[in-house]
Amino acid sequence: MPTFLMMSRHAPESCPMLNEKTRKTYINWLSKLDEINKKYKFKVLWSGAISSEHLSIFIIEAPSIEAFEKASMEPENIALMATETMEVKLVTSMTIEESLKLFKSLK
């Protein structure tokens, strides 16, 4: 399954801690998140935030890139994207041991 790194940033004036409209969008999105994740068979491996930078980070496992794209078209995700700038990266998952083995095999 592909792994994605998603970084989501909002402007300070759009912070859900301070902006009522954004807060309602977040509450709606968070309320539907489990349902969306189940529908698209996503697994959130890790999530966190750097509050002082208005940045949220998610590491998500999804069945395919197409599933990730389809999920982004869900109304709750579209509403959230109106308040956020999102950057999504496809991640190659590799343990330290796997990396060491790979590097040793290169000539």
> Distance of CA 2 to CAs 5, 53, 56, Å?
10, 27, 20
For residue 9, pLDDT beyond 90: yes
Residue 50 is given by DSSP the state E
> Distance of CA 27 to CAs 1, 2, 63, 96, Å?
29, 27, 26, 38
Domains of the chain, start order: 3-105 (3.30.70.1060)
**Average pLDDT of span 1-15:** 95
Q: Which residues share a beta bridge with 48?
A: 57
Q: What is the pTM of this model?
A: 0.84
pLDDT tens for 69-82 read 999 999 999 999 99
Q: In the chain, count H helices and then E strands.
A: 4, 4
